[in-house]
C-alpha cells in the first residue's frame, strides 16, 4: 500500500496545478503519510447472497487517531479546488486492490465516488484511464459514482462527460438519488447504469406508509428506464433490518449509521 501512495504522490506533484498550492501540498503530504484511509464496503447480491463488489470509502485520520468523515473535509477541498487529489488517490487505491484480488482469483468490481469538481476537469477521463491502465484494471471493473449534485453542472457538460465515461467502458452510477438536490430531469437527459437511492428514502420505512409508496415507485421508475437498475440501500440497526419487499432490487449494501 505504501508503494501505491508514493506513486500517486509523485504523479500529483508533477500535475502542475496552481490552485491553492500550499493547501494542495498539505493534502499530498497527508496522503504520503497515510492520513487518508480507503475502506471497502461490500456489495451483496440479494438473490444469491454472494459478494459481487465493493464501494471505496475515504476516511481521514484526525488528531489522536480519530476518524474524520468525508462530509467534514470533502466540501472544503471542493471549494479550494484540490479535491482531485483525494478522488484520484481513492481510485488508485481501488485499482491496486482490484489488481491484487484478481491475482488471488477474486473477481471484484469496485465503485468509486468522484466529486463533480473533479469530473469537470479537462482530460479527467484520460487521467482515470491512465490510473486503471497502470494496474491492468479494465474500465468495466470500475463504477464511477456521480453524486446527484452533479446535476448542478450544465446539462450538456454532464451528458458529454457521461458519454465519454461510458464510451471508455466504465459503469456509471447516479448516487444519492432522492437528496435535497433531487431533479428528475437528470434521468430524462441521460442513461445511467445504476441509480442508487439515498438513505433518507428508507429512514423510518418500517413505520411510514408514504415512505414505502415513494420508495416502491422510485425503484419501479428506475427499473423501467433503459439500461438502468436501482439499488436499494438497506439500513441495519442492531438486530433489525428495514427493507422493502417485492421491489425487484437485485443488489444492496449495508449502511451503518452513515451516508457515505
154 three-state secondary structure:
coil
User: Strand pairing partners for 143?
Assistant: 111, 171
Nearest to 74, CA basis, from 29, 21, 130, 113: 113
C-alpha cell at 120: 469537470
Give the range of the structural domain holding residue 97, as residue numbers without chain letter: 2-255
Identify whether 260 is part of a domain: no
Which residues, in sequence order, are bridge partners of residue 112?
56, 144
Give the domain CATH number at 139: 3.20.20.450
Residue 54 lies in a domain: yes
CA gap 126, 35 in Å, rounded: 27
Does the predicted model carry a pTM greater than 0.85?
no
What burial class does residue 190 get, using C-beta atoms within 10 Å of its C-beta: 0-12 exposed, 13-18 middle, 19+ buried?
middle
Residue 123 within a domain:
yes
Give burial (CB, 10 Å; 0-12/13-18/19+) of 212.
middle
- Which of 124, 126, 129 lies closest to 140, judged by CA? 129
Q: Are 115 and 79 in contact (CB under 8 A)?
A: no
Grid coordinates given for 72: 467534514
Q: Residue 155, exposed/middle/buried by CB under 10 A (0-12, 13-18, 19+)? A: middle
Tell me, yes or no, whether 152 lies in a domain: yes
Q: Is residue 207 part of a domain?
A: yes
Q: With 0-12 CB in 10 A as exposed, 13-18 as middle and 19+ as buried, what is 129?
A: middle
- Written as tens digits, the pLDDT of the chain (260 aa) is 544 555 555 555 555 444 556 888 899 999 999 999 999 999 887 778 888 899 999 999 998 899 999 999 999 998 888 999 999 999 999 999 999 999 999 989 999 999 988 998 889 999 999 999 999 999 999 999 986 555 566 778 888 888 999 999 999 988 777 665 556 667 776 778 888 777 777 777 777 888 788 778 877 777 777 655 555 544 333 233 333 333 344 454 433 222 33
Smallest CA-to-CA distance from 86 within 137, 30, 15 is with 30
Half-sphere exposure of 24 (CA within 13 A, CB side): 21
- Count up the domains in the chain and report the number: 1
pLDDT, position 61: 95
Alpha-carbon distance of 60 to 87, in angstroms, equals: 13
In a domain, 158, yes or no: yes
Q: Which of 75, 158, 177, 71 is nearest to 119 (CA)?
A: 158
Considering the domain boundaries, does residue 192 fall inside one?
A: yes
Grid cell, residue 129, equals 484511464
Give the pLDDT score at 130. Answer: 97
Amino acid at each position: 500500500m505504501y508503494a501505491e501512495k508514493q506513486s500517486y504522490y509523485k504523479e500529483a506533484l508533477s500535475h502542475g496545478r496552481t490552485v491553492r498550492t500550499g493547501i494542495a501540498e498539505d493534502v499530498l503530504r497527508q496522503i504520503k503519510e497515510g492520513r487518508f484511509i480507503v475502506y471497502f464496503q461490500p456489495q451483496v447480491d440479494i438473490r444469491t447472497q454472494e459478494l459481487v463488489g465493493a464501494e471505496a470509502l475515504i476516511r481521514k485520520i484526525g488528531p489522536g487517531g480519530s476518524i474524520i468523515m468525508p462530509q467534514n473535509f470533502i466540501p472544503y477541498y471542493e471549494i479550494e479546488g484540490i479535491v482531485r487529489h483525494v478522488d484520484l488517490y481513492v481510485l488508485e487505491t481501488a485499482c491496486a486492490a482490484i489488481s491484487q484480488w484478481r491475482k488471488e482469483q477474486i473477481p471484484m468490481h469496485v465503485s468509486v465516488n468522484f466529486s463533480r469538481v473533479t469530473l469537470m476537469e479537462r482530460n479527467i477521463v484520460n487521467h482515470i484511464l491512465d490510473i486503471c491502465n497502470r494496474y491492468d484494471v479494465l474500465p468495466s471493473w470500475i463504477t464511477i459514482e456521480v453524486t446527484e449534485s452533479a446535476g448542478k453542472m450544465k446539462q450538456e457538460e454532464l451528458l458529454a462527460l457521461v458519454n465519454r465515461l461510458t464510451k471508455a467502458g466504465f459503469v456509471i452510477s447516479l448516487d444519492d438519488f432522492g437528496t435535497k438536490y433531487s431533479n428528475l430531469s437528470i434521468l430524462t437527459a441521460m442513461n445511467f447504469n445504476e441509480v442508487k437511492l439515498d438513505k433518507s428514502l428508507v429512514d423510518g420505512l418500517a413505520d411510514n406508509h408514504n415512505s414505502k409508496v415513494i420508495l416502491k415507485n422510485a425503484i419501479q421508475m428506475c427499473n423501467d428506464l433503459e439500461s438502468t437498475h436501482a439499488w436499494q440501500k438497506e439500513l441495519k440497526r442492531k438486530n433489525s433490518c428495514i427493507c422493502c419487499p417485492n421491489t425487484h432490487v437485485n443488489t444492496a449494501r449495508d449502511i451503518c449509521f452513515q451516508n457515505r
